[in-house]
């Protein structure tokens, strides 16, 4: 009976080690971003406001979002993550759906997701509409 208990304890410790190792390698990073029309270049109306929660999984490359737009002067048409510091327009790096969706998930290259998670001030999220094709509101990660 003593050997059985020891074997069970060793098995439980080994399983706990595997679970801990998997938890340590799966990294999820969340950002809550305030979106404002005045953050855009060129600026959109100050009344355009909202927020988005962006969740990045650096292990899988999964990118999820959940927008809560308080006010926008037109129907949202697209949303993206762009590379660019505050006040600088940049290229789209992660489209958040083909057309605007309030929430959803997509995949991106793991190296890109790690870069975004590691250097969030170099990236921003914006929402576009017909009145403001370059962006109706924006917020830095």
Could you read off the pLDDT of 51-68 as tens digits, one per residue? Answer: 999 999 999 999 999 999
The residue segments making up the domain with residue 50 are 27-140
What's the pLDDT tens digit per position in 95-136? 999 999 999 999 999 999 999 999 999 999 999 999 999 999
The answer to whether position 53 is within a domain reads yes
Across the range 13-19, mean pLDDT stands at 40
Instruction: Specify whether the CB–CB gap between 119 and 128 falls below 8 A.
Output: no
Element (H, E) at 22: helix 2-25
Write out the two tokens for 15: 């399983």
Q: How many CB atoms lie within 10 A of CB 59?
A: 14
Q: What is the band of 14 on the pLDDT scale with cuts at 50, 70, 90?
A: very low
The answer to whether position 60 is within a domain reads yes
Q: Which of 91, 80, 97 is nearest to 141 (CA)?
A: 80
Average pLDDT across the chain, whole number: 86
From CA 16, how far away is CA 36, in angstroms rounded?
45
The answer to whether position 18 is within a domain reads no
């Amino acid at each position: 009976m003593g050997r059985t208990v020891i074997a069970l304890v060793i098995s439980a410790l080994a399983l706990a080690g595997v679970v801990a190792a998997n938890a340590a390698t799966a990294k999820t990073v969340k950002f809550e971003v305030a979106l404002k029309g005045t953050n855009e270049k060129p600026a959109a109306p100050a009344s355009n406001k909202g927020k988005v929660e962006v969740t990045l999984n650096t292990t899988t490359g999964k990118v999820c979002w959940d927008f809560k737009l308080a006010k926008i002067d037109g129907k949202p048409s697209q949303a993206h993550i762009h590379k660019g510091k505050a006040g600088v327009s940049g290229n789209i790096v992660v489209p958040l759906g083909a057309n605007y969706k309030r929430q959803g998930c997509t995949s991106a290259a793991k190296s890109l997701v790690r870069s975004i998670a590691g250097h969030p001030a170099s990236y921003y999220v914006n929402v576009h509409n017909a009145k403001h094709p370059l962006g109706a509101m924006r917020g830095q990660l």
